[in-house]
Structure 1
Amino acid sequence: MDAAPVFRDKPVSFVRRSGRMSEAQDRAWAEFSPTYLLPVERGAATTSVKEGSAIDPVEVYGRRARLTVEIGSGQGHQIVSAAAADPDNDFLAVEVFTAGLARTMLDADRAGVKNLRLAEANAPEALEHLLPAGSVDELWVFFPDPWHKNKHTKRRLIAPDFVRVAALALRPGATLRLATDWQDYADQMREVLDEAPEFSRAFPGDWAERFEGRVLTAFEQKGLRVGRDIRDLTYTRVAP
């Protein structure tokens, strides 16, 4: 008899729609996932991470190096570009959509990228359970789903609970970078981070300068086309 489905007790920042991958994505998944995709022990749901199942980054990457994590890596344009440009450091993409992960693996292989791994996981659970405490040197959250309808804003990723688990994963002195093209979400992000004792602003004035290491993705281009201001925020993890 099939087991009853298990559901989370808190809303997540995504809706994981079913969808077929293209033939090329299917091939990429089959060929490259043994190299790029981390095996993740599951908890309650398909994209959950089991408590106590943290990886050892030195074992995963075969060396000790700075680790940058991108949350919601999408098609992987940002993380593949960064990993290719900085082979001396390591990168981890966290994403829930298999088509995006497959595209990321395909592009990483084409670029000859060896210092990138991917995790199919809900971001807060990856930060809390997959990554060892203090193991991350830089954390990126670029253009997360704004959930702009009032009834959906509770699904937004950047909230006090997220800040708590981000602080756990980041070492003291590490950097948290965020960007959005939705002004009210930018205001919320800044309010949440400004109130968090684990973080301090790393920019003067109202907003940070555009992160020069961020590639111009489709999300950012779409925001610019419709006249939205792109808001960057940069914070430093404060020592406990």
Structure 2
Amino acid sequence: MSPRVTSRSSRTALLRTRAAVLAAGLGASAVLGAGVAAAATPTATTAATTAVSGSAHAVQAQAAAQAKAAELAKKAATAKAAQAKQAKQVKQAAAKKKAAGWVAPVKGYTKTASFAQNGARWQSTHSGQDFAVPVGTKVVAAHGGTVVKAGGNGAGDGPAYGNAIVIKHGNGSYSQYAHLSKVNVRIGQVVAAGQQIALSGNTGNSSGPHLHFEIRTTPNYGTAVDPVAFLRGKGLSI
């Protein structure tokens, strides 16, 4: 064989060897890449799973917070309702206690002639307290008791009183209401404190519409005591 032929054979063999090595390298790279890809896939799946789990926990936490807020609001509403009920009961108890005690005979009044005040329109000194109010103002019993006098002519105490009422109370005192335009009770009737008994007026010896109010030790004229001092002693601001 000639040297030229030998040289060509050698080069061909070298090229084949290099091609084999290159192919082997590419194959190894492909295998390695597949391994890397295969190794990367579980990591991505884990990350996605973690993200979904975190979102679920956030939703659960929000739902729990909303449920807790609703429960607190419910408890607050229940407590408020209980307080309102208690306040109502206290108010009712106070009203009941007041009804069992003494009350002012009229509302929205202006005090005019006072007890023991001198004047030309009554004998000697004034026997009660005058409360100036418009004709038709509601007059109530200052305390619970039994009506012992009612009607015109001062209910028996004289025409100067006009229409009048006298109520006997359990503590041995009597209250008198005069110059009335209308009498709403009768003798023998039992009345409660604060119950309407008449309408104010201007009857009898009166210079203007008002209620003449007395506290007496007997049902008759001449036994009156200071009604304002008496009612203040019962806790009223007159």
- With normalisation by structure 1, the TM-score equals 0.22
Question: Higher relative CO (CA 8 A, sep ≥ 6), structure 1 or 2?
Answer: 1
If each structure's helix is expressed as a fraction of its own residues, which one has the higher value? Answer: 2
Greater C-alpha Rg: 2
- With normalisation by structure 2, the TM-score equals 0.22
